Structure formats: C-alpha cells, structure tokens
Amino acid sequence: RELNSWVFMVTARAPTNIAVIKYWGKRDEKLILPINDSISVTLDPDHLSATTTVAVSPSFSSDRMWLNGKEVSLGGERYQNCLREIRSRGRDVVDEKSGTLIKKEDWQTLHLHIASHNNFPTAAGLASSAAGFACLVYALAKLMDIEERYAGELSAIARQGSGSACRSLYGGFVKWDMGKERDGSDSIAVQLATEEHWEELVILVAVVSSRQKETSSTTGMRESVETSELLHHRAQEVVPKRIVQMQEAIANHDFASFARITCVDSNQFHAVCLDASPPIFYMNDTSHRIINCIEKWNRFEGTPQVSYTFDAGPNAVICAPSRKVAGLLLQRLLYYFPPDSSKELSSYVIGDTSILGE
Ligand code: 2P0
C-alpha cells in the first residue's frame, strides 16, 4: 500500500488564441488537417486561458477528466489520440520529492487524472478548445518529461485534439502551416514573432453572449466543406495571398494593413458560413452593430483605427494599435451599447468587455 500511495502531478496554463486569418475547413477529419494556412494572436493568459493539472498515481484505476469541476468522458477519439501520442513519447521520470522512479514503459499502464478550468465561457466562440487541448498536451509533456525539441511534435499532437490548439502552444503571433504530408507531420504551428514584437497592440474582447453556440466548429466546418463553393475559392485563391500580406503587416507593425486584412478575413469566413447549405449563423444582431460602429469610425477617420474579428460565435475581438485608441474604443462601445439598456443586451453583454494585454 505504501508503494501505491504516491501521486505525481504537474499544472500548466495555456492561453487562447484569436485567428486573424481564419482556419475553416479540413482536408482530413481524423488527423485534423486544414485546407488553408492560418495566422493568430495568442492572448494574455491572465484573462483567457485554461489551467490544467495532470496527475498520475498507481492508485488510479482509469483515466478520468474533470472540466470546470464536472467529469467529462475521455472516450472520444480526440482525447484518445492525444493521450496515445504523448504516452508513446514519455521518458523515465524521477519524482524528486518522493524519489519515485516512473519508467518510460510505465506511462503505457499508469492511469491519469486530469482537472482543467477555463477562466472564460466554454464553447461560446472564444476558442476554449484551443486553450484546453494546448494546455493538456503541454501539461502531459511536462509530466512525462518530453523534450522541448519535440515542440513541433507537441503542436502536431495538440492539433489532433483541436485544430486551433496547435497555435496556442506559442505566444505572440503564430502561423499554422497547413502542411503537405498525408500523416500531418508538417501541419504544425510556428511562431512568427514574440509578444514583445508588437507590445502596443491592445486586444479587447466584447462578450456579446456567453451561451454555447448552436453549431460546433467541427460540424460547421464539415458542412461548409461539403456545400460552400466560396470556401474552396477562399482556400485556394484568397488565403495564400492574405497570409503573405499579413506576415508583412506584422513584421512591419503596419496596423492599417493588419486591421484591413483582419476585418475582411473575418467577414469572408462568416460569408462562407452563410454560403453553406443550410446556412450557418455565428454572429447576431449585436455583432453586426459592432461591425457597423467600427466600420463607420474607421471610414470617418480615413484609416483603420481598430480591427474586429469574430470566431464561431457572436463575441467581438477588437484590436487597437495603442492603449489610447483602446480607450477611445471603449468609450464608443459604452456609448452605443450602454450596459442594461435593452432586453437584448442583458447586463452580461459587453459589460464583460475587458482590456487584454498591455
Ligand atoms: C480559427 N476557428 O482559425 C477558426 C476561426 C473558428 C473560426 O479554429 O474541429 O475548435 O477542433 O479543429 O479548432 C475553431 O475550430 O475546430 C477555429 P476543430 P476548432 O480559430
């Protein structure tokens, strides 16, 4: 019994990321391989992140997981693929406190308990699966002492949990290369620039609704691939050019180009959803009003002041080039969307707007 009493655990935190060039559509559903490259900004982990503790003990009789305090099934293929891939790379580990040795082959038979928390609404289009799977894979890699030189492999493993998760393993500005290989080994994220590269950039999240979305990203993508002609035009003709332009805009701190490309790419992604049959709606009237408000402001000033982007949900992610402009933006949002002013906008709406990042 003494021998069985040890528990070895690791806790990690991973932020979510927001795509400025969107990933939408898979060419391989099992391996989660995309039909186009994407680029994202990783957010400040203090505001939107997942925290995951992974524990291993001989006293555990099965793999189990709790998400925000509720037990969830680990039976799904995505979890199983991540666990299998990580376990097969595990190394000998000595727990310094107890002196316990876990041999690399033990990872195949020892069971895991996993507890994960999000500090933001799950599945409301704020990329909770990205932070969640990135965090899980990173925590397990630390637990099993998988070397840093496997960073590309970790990204490929996180990708098999949720596509966008592969980008959350890096901070700053990140590109997910769609890759060419059939086994997905080159479909990994690479860091374009660290968070220090463009420190002045401020990201604001306007929480329009924290309700779970009706159509999951996975289903929405599948239906779009099967029925939208626009999606194929986008992947083949539009995104490759935008990827080059966006990389240049980031490298040159060119906010006007960054904002212009971010907005048109978000709009095209939602146009693809509308082009699916039956159409998929992720934005709502409030989202559209936010777009209108920003477009009018940008047009009035003659050059983009801020950018907006919406993922598979109604919440707005707004980028400003400085804290000063972010302050002006907040004033505008509070003027047009005063808290508690209408039934549609309950106190939760936009009230949750928070400034992220310095
Ligand atoms: C993105 N989204 O690039 C895009 C833009 C939502 C809109 O990645 O099926 O949760 O797990 O790979 O990663 C959301 O899709 O989908 C997403 P799966 P995922 O951020």
Q: What pLDDT, in 10s, does the model give residues 211-223?
A: 666 789 999 999 9
Over range 15-40, report the average pLDDT. Answer: 97
Torsion sign (Cα): 84, 88, 91, 93: positive
Residue 298 CB partners (closer than 8 Å, separation 6+) = 259, 304, 305, 306
Q: Which atom of ligand 1 is nearest to the CA of 221?
A: 9
Instruction: Assess contact for 262 and 173: CB atoms under 8 A.
Output: no
Q: Which of 29, 133, 164 to mutate to test the pocket of ligand 1 (most atoms within 8 A of CB)?
A: 164
Q: Which of 217, 222, 269, 310 to mutate to test the pocket of ligand 1 (most atoms within 8 A of CB)?
A: 217
Comparing CA positions, the residue from 285, 283, 289 lying closest to residue 336 is 289
Lowest mean pLDDT, pick from 18-22, 33-37, 177-181, 282-286 = 282-286
pLDDT of res. 121: 60
DSSP labels, 197-222: GGTT-EEEEE-S--SPPSS-HHHHHH
Distance 164 CA to ligand 1 centre (A): 5
pLDDT of res. 154: 94
Whole-angstrom Cα distance, residue 305 to residue 295? Answer: 9
CATH architecture of 3-195: 2-Layer Sandwich (3.30)
Q: Which long-range contacts (CB under 8 A, 24 or more apart) does 234-237 make?
A: 234/24, 234/36, 234/268, 234/269, 234/272, 235/25, 235/35, 235/36
Comparing CA positions, the residue from 309, 318, 321, 306 lying closest to residue 198 is 321
Which has more confidence, 214 or 248?
Answer: 248
Q: Say how many CA atoms lie within 13 Å of 36 toward its Cβ.
A: 26
Mean pLDDT over each residue of the chain, to the nearest integer: 89
Element (H, E) at 326: helix 323-336
pLDDT of res. 104: 95
Q: Which of 22, 23, 272 to mutate to test the pocket of ligand 1 (most atoms within 8 A of CB)?
A: 23
Over range 129-141, report the average pLDDT. Answer: 95
Which has more confidence, 2 or 105?
Answer: 105
Instruction: Assess contact for 322 and 309: CB atoms under 8 A.
Output: no
125 confidence band (pLDDT: 50, 70, 90)? low
What backbone torsions phi and psi does residue 281 show, to the nearest 5 degrees?
Answer: -110, 120
4 confidence band (pLDDT: 50, 70, 90)? low
Please check the confidence at residue 343 and state whether its pLDDT lies above 80: no
98 confidence band (pLDDT: 50, 70, 90)? confident
First-to-last C-alpha distance (Å) of the chain: 51
DSSP labels, 164-206: GGGGGGS-SEEEE---S-TT-TT--EEEEE-GGGGTT-EEEEE
Instruction: Assess contact for 42 and 48: CB atoms under 8 A.
Output: no
Distance 25 CA to ligand 1 centre (A): 9
In this structure, the residue with its CA closest to atom 14 of ligand 1 is: 217
Q: How far is CA 217 from CA 29, 142, 281, in A?
A: 12, 29, 12
What backbone torsions phi and psi does residue 47 show, to the nearest 5 degrees?
Answer: -105, -45
pLDDT of res. 238: 98
pLDDT of res. 2: 53
Protein residues whose CB sits closer than 6 Å to any atom of ligand 1 = 19, 22-24, 32, 38, 127, 129-130, 162-164, 217-218, 221, 269, 311-312
pLDDT of res. 337: 85
Instruction: Assess contact for 165 and 140: CB atoms under 8 A.
Output: no
pTM over 0.90: yes
Q: Under CATH, domain 202-356 is a member of which superfamily?
A: GHMP kinase, C-terminal domain (3.30.70.890)
Comparing CA positions, the residue from 121, 138, 116 lying closest to residue 66 is 116
Cα–chain-centroid distance for residue 279? 24
Instruction: Indicate the domain borders of the chain.
Output: 3-195, 202-356
Whole-angstrom Cα distance, residue 244 to residue 241? Answer: 5
pLDDT of res. 127: 59
Task: State the burial class of residue 139 (Cβ atoms within 10 Å of its Cβ: 0-12, 13-18, 19+).
Answer: buried
